[in-house]
């Protein structure tokens, strides 16, 4: 995986497995984005899409996108195209590095549960939610988290 400095990145690669999952059609997604199950009219479609969009619809975190999806890809408009996604072997212990999307991040935020940013590439550290649990403070813009919280619970 090339992405090592931005978005979500597994902390210890051996705690994650890479699988191919079917993706939503015509949606640009960057490497390191949090991926969830697409929900349309309260029904799952079988496809995966950006977690920040589906979080409000009640989707749970599935994994971290391991390759980008660009509008210029030959299969961009294809529903169900298979793309690499990193899945945690244990939601309780598989940590990922994260980027702060919004809020002031300090060491006292360790242990806090927060929401995913609407962009799916960061955590909003000042907003209570069930997107992820912060496990380590690294800097004002970077930390570690686990995705042990089901997003279908309300904060």
Chain center to CA of 72: 23
Q: How do beta strands 61-65 and 34-40 pair?
A: antiparallel
All residues at 6 or more sequence positions from 140 whose CB lies less than 8 Å from its CB, including other chains: 100, 104, 105, 106
Last residue of a domain, one of 88, 112, 129: 88
Supply 19's token pair. Answer: 């699988």
What tens digit of pLDDT does each residue of 28-43 get? 999 999 999 888 877 8
pLDDT, average across residues 80-89: 96
Domain count, the chain: 2
56 token code pair: 């409000």
- Does 123 lie in the same domain as 139? yes
Same-domain check for residues 84 and 100: no
Task: Check: CB of residue 31 under 8 Å from CB of residue 109.
Answer: no
Mean pLDDT of 85-96: 94
Whether the predicted pLDDT of 6 surpasses 80: no
């Amino acid at each position: 995986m090339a992405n090592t400095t931005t978005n979500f990145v597994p902390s210890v690669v051996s705690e994650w497995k890479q699988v191919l999952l079917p993706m939503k059609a015509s949606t640009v997604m960057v490497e390191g984005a949090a991926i969830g199950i697409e929900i349309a009219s309260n029904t799952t479609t079988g496809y995966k899409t950006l977690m920040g969009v589906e979080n409000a619809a009640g989707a749970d975190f599935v994994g971290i996108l391991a390759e980008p999806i660009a509008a210029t890809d030959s299969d961009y408009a294809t529903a169900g195209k298979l793309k690499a996604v990193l899945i945690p072997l244990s939601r309780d212990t598989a940590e990922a590095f994260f980027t702060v999307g919004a809020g002031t991040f300090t060491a006292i935020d360790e242990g806090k549960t927060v929401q995913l940013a609407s962009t799916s590439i960061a955590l909003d550290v000042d907003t209570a939610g069930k997107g992820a649990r912060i496990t380590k403070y690294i800097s004002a813009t970077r930390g570690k988290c686990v995705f042990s919280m089901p997003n279908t619970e309300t904060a």
